């Protein structure tokens, strides 16, 4: 499955990374796995890094289904990092779907990883 995640409890951050071609079923399975992980905390923030995704096999209806699933607290922030046109388009669709609902997490779309991490309150570790 071209999706993985890392839970960083110290930074209260979940980093999800996708690559290559990602399908609806893979994205949904990723959500299911994350939601049932004993380390998952719905209060954590999330960075979804889609910069290595080459194609999304997800229809607009399927994107809305993924966006409608509630795993995160309304106090959480989720940053979507993307650069490919198809990923940006689906990201905007999901962002709009989530923002229209009440009592949902905050969502924003970014092109720059450092800006996304700054918005999440989890700046990149100093090298």
Please state the pTM of the whole predicted model. Answer: 0.88
pLDDT 10s digits, 19-69? 999 999 999 999 999 999 999 999 999 999 999 999 889 998 998 898 888
Q: How many CA atoms lie within 13 A of 25 on its CB side?
A: 1
pLDDT of residue 98: 79
pLDDT of residue 127: 53
pLDDT of residue 92: 79
Task: Sketch the domain layout of the chain as residue ranges.
Answer: 3-120
Say whether pLDDT at 126 is over 60: no
Domain 3-120 - what CATH class?
alpha beta
pLDDT of residue 1: 64
pLDDT of residue 96: 79
Q: Using CA atoms, how far apart are residues 118 and 122, in angstroms rounded to an integer?
A: 6
| Angular region, 121: left φ>0, alpha ψ -120 to 50, beta rest | left
Average pLDDT over residues 80-90: 80
pLDDT 10s digits, 91-120? 777 777 777 777 888 888 899 999 999 999
Q: What is the DSSP string of 67-112?
A: HH---S-TT-EEEEE--SHHHHHHHHHHHHHHHHSSS--EEEEES-
18 and 34 in contact (C-beta within 8 Å)? no
State the chain's mean pLDDT as an integer: 89
Tokens representing 114 are 């450092």
Tokens representing 1 are 């499955």
């Amino acid at each position: 499955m071209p999706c993985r995640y890392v839970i960083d409890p110290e930074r209260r951050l979940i980093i999800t990374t996708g690559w290559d071609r990602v399908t609806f079923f893979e994205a949904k399975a990723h959500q299911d796995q994350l939601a049932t992980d004993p380390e998952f905390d719905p209060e954590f923030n999330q960075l979804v890094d889609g910069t290595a995704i080459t194609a999304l096999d997800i229809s607009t209806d399927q994107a809305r289904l993924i966006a409608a699933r509630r795993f995160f607290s309304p106090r959480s922030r989720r940053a979507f990092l993307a650069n490919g046109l198809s990923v940006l388009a689906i990201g905007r669709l999901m962002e709009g779907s989530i923002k229209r609902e009440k009592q949902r997490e905050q969502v924003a779309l970014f092109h720059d990883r450092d800006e996304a991490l700054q918005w999440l309150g989890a700046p990149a570790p100093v090298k």
